[in-house]
Structure 1
Amino acid sequence: MFMNWRRIRKWHFLRLISMCCVVSLLMVCWEHVDHHVVSHMKSYSYRYMINSFSFVNKSLSVSQEEAARFNSFPYLLNQNNVCKDKDVLLLLFVKSSPENFERRQAIRSTWGNESYVSHELGVILKVVFVMGVHTDVTNSFLLQDLHEEHKNYGDLVQQEFLDTFHNLTIKLLLQFRWMHENCAHARFMMSADDDVFVHMPNLVRYLQDLRRRNVRDHWVGHVHRGAPPIRSKNSKYFMPFDMYQWNSYPDYTAGAGYVISGDVAAKIYQATLSLNASMYIDDVFMGICAIAAGVSPQEHVYFSGEGRTPYHPCIYEKMITSHGHENDIRYLWKAATAPEVQGISSGLVGKLYCTAVKMMLLCKPYFSNTYSCMAAFT
């Protein structure tokens, strides 16, 4: 056997060049790699202690008097009898802002249409838009419009706190307090942003199955596991050490849209009565409350994270939520609930076709924070 020494030397040379390129790239991008890979690996390994022990809750525990300070804002708009004497399958809180009238209108006429859900799906849905006060508190026209909107629809709940990103946890407390006071008998509760699309027929079928099986301790959504606190002051999600000192957040679901059973809602409400709600990332605060309640989030591959899901009938057939729909909710509702969508993956050919389509749409090498690749096979 003869060896081609020239080819061997050429191969070694190419390998050396490749290694130099990789090392150079790592040197240039090391800060990015260290932040997004190494920190995630550290926090993911740390998450087991965070989720299993109570030291996080102890560090954030306050007296009931101090906790009440975060949950005692007076109501400016309210409707406290919408659930009275009704067998409510789902109480759905939509986190809105005073100026987002068009988004609320789109929801009322599509996936949040209570009459449609009652007549077509045969269950009772109650939609409540929760909000604080616009930062321009002197805007008399906006105040007048809100009162007129509430007079026409009776579905707004507003408290007297500024409606800002750093008060999202206050808005979370508002939801659990309002449910406790006015709709504690609802079988399930959902919290969603006002730019989220919810495929209500699919969600109702899912919840009806849970109700038939009498499922309890249920919290489902797009789960973040072992997420590290962001310590960069330039980030919207900056978390200072004096507010949260641990290397990992507890497991939590993306706040864009998640569902909990009624018994979990009651437990979370009780947890909020003794925790420091100055933790302004509401998703994370929900995870902290869940540790106190002894509840863990469950992943559902058709709950979206912060990303928008692809547009395709094979996706629509099983989708539950999709995030980032400020302007196209009406279009998506019409497309996703079209009769031809149902059964598109029936039969062997349909299953193979939709699996191939979803693999191309979802199994991508980069992170999109929407449905995982696993959704292609379910």
Structure 2
Amino acid sequence: MMKHLQIFLLLCGVVWVPILLTYSYNTQSREGSIGDIAPNFTWNVNSSRDLAIYVEPENTTAVITNENLCSSNSADHRQKPLLLIVVCSAVGNVKARDAIRKTWMSVGPNETAPFDVRTVFLLGQTVNDTKQSDVLLESNTHRDIIQEGFIDAYLNLTLKSVMMLKWVKTYCPQVTFVLKTDDDMFINVRTLTEYLSQSDVQVRKDLIVGSLFCRVSPIKDAGSKWYSPLFMYDAKVYPDYVSGTGYVISGPLVPILFENALHVPLFHLEDVYTTGIVAKRANVIPENSHLFSFVKHPTTNPCLYRKIITSHGLNPSELKSVWQQINDPRLNCTSVRLPKIGDPKFKKCHKTARLTVRRSGRRGFSG
């Protein structure tokens, strides 16, 4: 009898230890929006950073799977290249998602040729039953939500991005390109599809492109949003990476990045981790295009918004205002002098630069 009890307890331990590890790590951070500054840093040297524990690569972990999102349109017999836009969003950011649906997500298929564009919001879970019921209702209404089974918190953004790779690998293997972005971003889908339609870009199988960060030094200030303790990363600089506010990955590269991520210790800065550390392990070099921006452009300059692909930090009312302006048929941008953006040549990292945090809280380069 005692032997059977010991076996039972051992089996319970095997099942529950990974769950408890995940819950312990996740719930130490409060649920919050994508842009929130991280609370007190909760990782310690004894925290498990084995990504496979949290991702469970062989298991279905999604609460809301939305597995038919990438299914082909039977009414269109021509096979179009597929662009999937994944918007990482927090459970409570309902207004942000609604604003996106009413603005850049509403671009019609005739304006995105030759791409078939699908957009989905990726959420984590909430411990609030009322909020969870709201998420289920929102999903049933719009059919554009994926929800994974981890607590939605700032320090879980890396986990969210890897879950994105897992979902795409499983349910959207035919995708040509994936754009990862956040719910406070303006995305110019028309310009994005024009950019990806270029012959030298569309054939790429190894593309990671966005706003490139070169030779960034880890921040050792424990009060910083981008704090990086030595036990988590001990090199002097990060591998070159692109800003997590918006970047494109070639579809065939998604499973490669996912498989490599399973062998890289989890690191909490998702853009550094996915497009820098993991990409380096996969022998992929991230690239720059000035059409992608991690800063907020003036919302009073709609002509600029007609040219760029991404702009950061727009609240729902700003997003609606910009959208209305750029779609005004009376808007004439022919005589407007725009900043030097959209250079088709990719920039390579060649200047030493350090990432600094200004008093305003913005990231910027010095060097």
Residue 102 of structure 2 is matched in structure 1 by 109
Which residue of 314, 325, 337 corresponds with 1:354? 337
> Unaligned 5+ residue runs, structure 2?
1-47, 74-79, 341-357
- Offset of residue 340 of structure 1: 4.8
Residues in 2 aligned to 1:210 and 1:326: alpha-carbon distance in whole angstroms: 35
What's the Cα RMSD here? 2.7
- What's the CA shift string for 1:78-104, capped at 9, x where partnerless? 210111235452111100011111111
- CA gap of 1:67–1:75, structure 2 versus 1, over 3 A, is same
Which residue of 145, 159, 165 corresponds with 1:156? 145
- What's the CA shift string for 1:48-72, capped at 9, x where partnerless? xxxxxxxxxxxxxxx9x94321212
Residues in 2 aligned to 1:201 and 1:371: alpha-carbon distance in whole angstroms: 28
Residue 45 of structure 2 is matched in structure 1 by none
Residue 329 of structure 1 is matched in structure 2 by 319
Which residue of 287, 292, 297 corresponds with 1:309? 297
Q: By percentage of residues, which structure has more helix?
A: 1
Q: Taking every aligned residue pair, what percent have the same amino acid on both sides? A: 30
Residue 201 of structure 1 is matched in structure 2 by 190
Residue 131 of structure 1 is matched in structure 2 by 123
- Offset of residue 179 of structure 1: 0.3
- Asked whether the 8 Å contact 2:65–2:146 carries over to 1, the reply is yes
- What's the CA shift string for 1:250-283, capped at 9, x where partnerless? 1111101111111222321221121112x11101
- Number of aligned positions between the proteins: 287
- Say whether 1:240 aligns with 2:233: no
Residues in 1 aligned to 2:201 and 2:217: alpha-carbon distance in whole angstroms: 38
Q: Quick check: which has more Rg, 1 or 2?
A: 1
Name the TM-score, length of structure 1 as normaliser. Answer: 0.70
Amino acid at match of 1:221: G
Residue 349 of structure 2 is matched in structure 1 by none
Residues in 2 aligned to 1:341 and 1:99: alpha-carbon distance in whole angstroms: 35
- Offset of residue 371 of structure 1: 12
- Secondary structure (helix, strand or coil) at the match of 1:247 reads coil
Residues in 1 aligned to 2:150 and 2:219: alpha-carbon distance in whole angstroms: 26
Residues in 2 aligned to 1:192 and 1:288: alpha-carbon distance in whole angstroms: 19
Comparing 177-186 and 296-305, the one that deviates more: 296-305
Residue 166 of structure 2 is matched in structure 1 by 177
- CA gap of 1:303–1:93, structure 2 versus 1, over 3 A, is same
- Asked whether the 8 Å contact 1:88–1:126 carries over to 2, the reply is no
Residues in 2 aligned to 1:293 and 1:106: alpha-carbon distance in whole angstroms: 36
Which residue of 138, 142, 147 corresponds with 2:136? 147
- Asked whether the 8 Å contact 2:125–2:132 carries over to 1, the reply is no
- Offset of residue 326 of structure 1: 1.5
- Offset of residue 109 of structure 1: 1.5
Residues in 1 aligned to 2:51 and 2:83: alpha-carbon distance in whole angstroms: 28
Residues in 2 aligned to 1:265 and 1:340: alpha-carbon distance in whole angstroms: 41
> Unaligned 5+ residue runs, structure 1?
1-62, 360-366, 373-378
- Say whether 1:68 aligns with 2:68: no
1:276-291 equivalent positions in 2, closer than 5 A: 276-277=265-266, 279-286=267-274, 287-291=276-280
- Secondary structure (helix, strand or coil) at the match of 1:70 reads helix
Which residue of 222, 229, 254 corresponds with 2:218? 229
Which residue of 238, 261, 274 corresponds with 2:250? 261
- CA gap of 1:160–1:313, structure 2 versus 1, over 3 A, is closer
